[in-house]
Amino acid sequence: MKSSKNKEILINLDTIYRTFHTDEVEVNVLQGIDLQIYNGEFLIIFGESGSGKTTLMNIIGGIDQPTRGSISFEGKDIVTLSDHELTLHRRDNIGFVFQLYNLIPTLTAYENVETTTEIAFDPMDPIEALQLVGMEKRANYFPSQLSGGQQQLVAMARAIAKRPKIMLCDEPTGALDHDNSLKILELLQKINNATGTTIVMITHAGTLAAMANRTAYIVDGVIDHIVTNDKPTPVRKLNW
């Protein structure tokens, strides 16, 4: 086991609640989440649709704040940060990959990656990031000229280009066919192994648990249980 996969806590979530108020209805989505995310690990968050995965991910990434509970990042409380401080925290530390890529349609692949490298503290060159995902030859293509799988590769280049401490991937293969999903998952595993970047991936594909160091099973807004995997399986050897 690599030294990066020790038990050093990167993010600590302590009794996280999130309630949404819509019209006159209260929806208690997260109901006391306790979770430690370790430096360098590949963590999967697994759960049925509607169980609260995206809500949890948004809170882990500082896109949303909990109704109650505390979160620390490298020991620093992030719940009390101002909006501006939270923006800086996201910018410096967190790479996001979403199910629907979220590329800016009017910018080329290169320029999309540049949107993060221009503001990051110690970024890669956009071409280096595109090379890492095998998309350097498409640097000047617009999203509409790329397949879904290729757009997701560019979105991954955009996320890793800022050398984030953690990548948060919300159903990154949810809109892709099997071959393209394989490519994305292999790349995530490769990034995790090669750079030690912590990865949290949401999925509702249960068989993917074998590729991660740990899988947290979320049921109705709480962590039901966590399974630890001493020897993650290379994605290509998974039968899913």
Ligand X SMILES: Nc1ncnc2c1ncn2[C@@H]1O[C@H](COP(=O)(O)OP(=O)(O)O)[C@@H](O)[C@H]1O
- Could you give the angle at which helices 148-160 and 178-195 cross, rounded to 10 degrees? 10
- DSSP of 173-216: TTTS-HHHHHHHHHHHHHHHHHH--EEEEEES-GGGGGGSSEEE
In the sheet with 198-203, reading across from the earlier edge strand, the strands are 94-97, 166-170, 198-203, 42-46, 214-219, 222-228
Quick one: which segment of 13-21, 52-60, 150-158, 159-167 binds Mg ion (CB under 5 A)? 52-60
CB 42 within 8 A of CB 192: yes
Over its C-alpha atoms, the chain yields an Rg (Å, rounded) of 17
CB 152 within 8 A of CB 185: no
Q: Which is nearer to ligand X, 20 or 121 (CB)?
A: 20
Q: Which is nearer to ligand X, 49 or 228 (CB)?
A: 49
Q: Is 116 an interacting residue with respect to ligand X (CB under 6 A)?
A: no
User: How many chain residues are in contact with Mg ion, going by CB under 5 A?
Assistant: 2
149/97 Cα distance (integer angstroms) = 13
Quick one: which segment of 46-54, 65-73, 144-152, 232-240 binds ligand X (CB under 6 A)? 46-54
Q: Which of 16, 42, 46, 55 binds ligand X (CB under 6 A)?
A: 55
Q: Is 54 an interacting residue with respect to Mg ion (CB under 5 A)?
A: yes
- Tell me how far the alpha carbon of residue 83 is from its chain's centroid: 21
CB of 21 to ligand X, least distance (A): 8
Out of Mg ion, ligand X, none, which partner does residue 164 contact, by CB within 5 to 8 A per kind?
A: none
- Give, as ranges, the residues between 12 and 41 that touch ligand X (CB under 6 A): 20, 22, 27, 29
Quick one: which segment of 47-55, 70-78, 93-101, 175-183 binds ligand X (CB under 6 A)? 47-55
Task: Report CA dihedral (19, 98, 8, 17) to the nearest 10 degrees.
Answer: 0
Q: Which is nearer to ligand X, 50 or 134 (CB)?
A: 50
CB of 57 to Mg ion, least distance (A): 8
Q: Is 82 an interacting residue with respect to ligand X (CB under 6 A)?
A: no
Residues forming the site for Mg ion (CB under 5 A): 53-54
